[in-house]
A and B are shown apart, each in its own frame.
Chain A
């Protein structure tokens, strides 16, 4: 099953759910089949491990990237690059906006309301059930409500990014899938895809899933690990 997403895709979710890793891998996945992909880093709340950390490899793979000016890259200030509004007005075939975590990180979307008005938006909530506050369906729904309130937008799709980093097992992927299915049933919001590290794919029973699986490599890594591992 292929991922069908196109147009403007905004990635939201609770803090540390793996939004950026999901966004970067989605960008690579779509670019690999020839789609024109652009990305913007809207994370104004996270000081490290943001899209900008993967900028070199994103450039190399031909993905257009909108970031704050280089001199503000490590500033402890919420800086929204003015080019983001231009990117929304003239989107690529797939334009991914990577927002910050929780309702606080989503506030930036309300600031872009004028640019986003009247556009078809895919607002995707990423969930990792091994993170605090989203271990349960109720927790996921609470985060969804908070994000919708802050962003003034409605979530249109769900993604399970169940992982314990290097210690992820197939059971963890299955558990994440089951949880996101339940969230989907309770909310009526569809599951766009689930993620699984590329090394785990041979161990997974893919027939168990009714959704596409996005293979993940890790691009946002500490300096003692290799990007794309």
Chain B
């Protein structure tokens, strides 16, 4: 297929359709509403369903219902909306149901603002809902990557039988870029006959499938949670994704940044390189599992004297970066948390100030 020009939100909607998602439930909230607007037009064309719930709480359980039937299902929202869905996220993770959640983040906490933010890093990677669960979290830097990650998310959700989150900031949803959709993508839900409540017709035995997260027997709950844990450990072995930028050079400072913030950092790095100053960057593409080894190895490179985590929040990923660097280099945070995005010039000034101190 030839390239088309699409807004991130539209492209995420189209990507879901091309990944075989026929079930989309959502509630409008800026800056992700165009996904719903787009899928309101497109879902009927592919015999799919879009239902706008009466709230994000309701949407979360619509997702649970469809996911429990083994169907490919997605919702999209923005920060406060994801907060409302977090109860359902916990239930879906607990019941081991595959589903795709997209969070196009806006400023917070509370109602915050409508401008880009990465303030939901903790919420996405450390919990949000109750209980002992993790989400596989992917963070695209642009529209093309948002498409590829969204499509892949459906397969990963089925592979691990759990919710997968695409974590983008408002710019990912709102900016337009040329995109190309992968061809020959496998759109068939896998392995659902073994566990989903999809009827008896295709099942080889007459055993009932029950989807639940209630385990009153402490040993049963312990075993269930250890099974979840084994899935999360497997993710750490098989799903870590990251990009190294200018990491072949003998860089003085290592930047760790993700999403659209990393795009600003790349411009800053290119500018500094032209000035004769080498700066490297690790861009985590998966936030959970986090590229711990890559960050550690890049940080302890002999030429590197400082590590800075650059984020659109008040410093969240910096805690993971610090954990990976293990005290071997100073680790600091730089960023904005009100909706403004640092310019390449501001990044350059900050990086140079680290070298001058």
Contacts and interface: CB of A to CB of B under 8 A. Distances in A.
Interface of A: 15-16, 46-49, 74-76, 128, 130-133, 163-167, 222-225
Nearest to B13: A132
Contacts of B267: 224-225
A47 B31 contact: yes
| Chain A binding surface SS class | loop
Nearest to B6: A132
B5 to A, nearest CB: 5
Nearest to A104: B37
Given A48-B115, A76-B30, 12 more contacts: A46-B174, A48-B171, A49-B174, A130-B178, A131-B5, A132-B38, A164-B178, A165-B5, A222-B175, A222-B260, A224-B266, A225-B267
Nearest to B42: A132
Contacts of B339: 74
Nearest to B343: A223
Contact of B5 (A16, A47, A48, A74): A16
A49 B5 contact: no
A40 B263 CA distance: 31
B81 interface: no
Nearest to A164: B178
Which residue of B171, B339, B342 has the most chain A CB atoms within 10 A of its CB atom? B171
A48 B170 contact: yes
B341 interface: yes
15 contacts: A15-B34, A16-B5, A48-B171, A74-B113, A74-B114, A74-B115, A74-B339, A130-B178, A132-B4, A132-B10, A164-B178, A167-B178, A224-B266, A224-B344, A225-B267
Q: Which 4 A-B pairs have the closest CB atoms?
A: A48-B174, A224-B267, A224-B263, A223-B341
A133 B343 CA distance: 34
B232 to A, nearest CB: 33
Contacts of B30: 47, 76
B130 to A, nearest CB: 29
Given A47-B114, A48-B31, A224-B267, A16 B176 contact: yes
Interface string B161-178: 000000000110011111
Interface in B111-127: 113-115
B341 to A, nearest CB: 4
Interface string B88-126: 000000000000000000000000011100000000000
A185 B4 CA distance: 25
B178 A165 contact: yes
Contact of B4 (A47, A131, A222): A131
B3 A164 contact: yes
Q: Is the interface of B mostly helix, strand, loop or mixed?
A: mixed
- Interface size class on chain B is 20 to 34
A19 to B, nearest CB: 12
A16 to B, nearest CB: 5
Interface string B127-143: 00000000000000000
A107 B29 CA distance: 20
Contacts of B263: 222, 224
A202 to B, nearest CB: 22
B264 interface: yes
A166 B178 CA distance: 9
B7 interface: yes
A123 to B, nearest CB: 23
A47 B178 contact: no
From A132, A165, A167, A224, residue with most partner B Cβ within 10 Å:
A224
Contacts of B113: 74
Contacts of A164: 3-5, 178
B170 A47 contact: yes
A170 B175 CA distance: 23
A133 B10 CA distance: 12
B181 to A, nearest CB: 12
B114 to A, nearest CB: 5
B45 to A, nearest CB: 11
A225 B267 CA distance: 8
Contacts of A16: 5-7, 10, 176
